[in-house]
Amino acid sequence: MVMQPEPVVTGDAVQLEVSIAQLPVRAAAALIDVMVMGFGYLILSMLWALTLADFDPALSAAVLIIFLVLVLVGYPVTFEMASGGRSLGKMALGLRVVSEDGGPERLRQAVFRALSSVIEIWMLTGGPAVICSMLSPKGKRIGDVFAGTIVISERAPKLNPPPPMPPGLAWWAATLQLSGLGAEQANMARQFLTRSAQLQPQVRAEMGQRIAGQFVARISPPPPPGASAEEVLAAVLAERHRRELVRLQVPPSPGMPPGPGLPPTPSSAPPPPPPTAGFSAPT
């Protein structure tokens, strides 16, 4: 059970579509984690009791408090940092904690979420967390709000991989500003390129020109002379996908070679050719 894909804007102004985890799924993952933490605390307490030679109430109380901190804070922070935002409960249900910009969860965010959970989940029996998640459009609990994180589902349907980067347009794609390009236009272009071979040549050319025209109106700089509409769409989608992967720090899709680096600064970017009117018709 997941919500509909939710746009997340990265630091490169690229929109990612992620599936926000719904409250029942998060509650089930939290229940698994509670069981794991309870079992861990029980084991630690039993081991401590077995090592006692002389019973010292003050020392025992201090050690049990340390065990409690290790379980309530150390467990989620350690697992989420080691597994890329996933505790055992989240692993079981295919959930992951990420930053609001789509990047990986950071240490300070994991610590803040863990400390917040001590109050909103353990001390207040989860009531504030449930209420906040129900009121938040992205299903955030209080710890997520202040840590700047969201919990996403990794088991949502995956989109087809983007088309390969046209070799002659890689340098141009690396200089693109994509802040004006939304997920709706990207999905439309992806669907067109997937079905283009099945279209009649005239329909294919007209649709390619129209969609590429919408792209060019939302990106800069304009494409180089001689680039066809389909090449422009493929280059933009491939570069957009590459920046998503860089932001999320995951390997490229199989069969897709790594693209060029992030857009260079204006001083180091190769000068683009003068703009041309329109595109050449796709073949």
pLDDT at 223 over 70: yes
How far apart CA 79 and CA 155 sit, in angstroms, is 20
Q: What residues pair up with 104 in beta bridges, in sequence order?
A: 98
Nearest to 239 by CA among 250, 252, 229, 226: 252
Lowest average pLDDT, out of 30-34, 90-94, 215-219, 276-280, goes to: 276-280
Collapsed DSSP state (helix, strand, coil) of residue 101: coil
In one letter, which amino acid is 61? Answer: A
Q: What is the pLDDT of residues 170-183, one digit of tens each?
A: 899 899 888 888 77
pLDDT at residue number 191: 84
**23/269 Cα distance (integer angstroms):** 46
* Residue bearing the bigger pLDDT, 101 or 69: 69
More confident site: 267 or 146? 146
pLDDT at 9: 46
Give Cα 40 distance to the centre of its chain: 30
Higher pLDDT, 19 or 122: 122
pLDDT of the residue at 77: 96
Report the range of poorest mean pLDDT among 30-44, 99-113, 116-130, 183-197. Answer: 183-197
Sign of CA dihedral 173, 263, 272, 221: positive
- Contact of 278 with 227, CB cutoff 8 Å: no
Q: Across residues 110-133, what is the average pLDDT?
A: 93
pLDDT of res. 157: 59
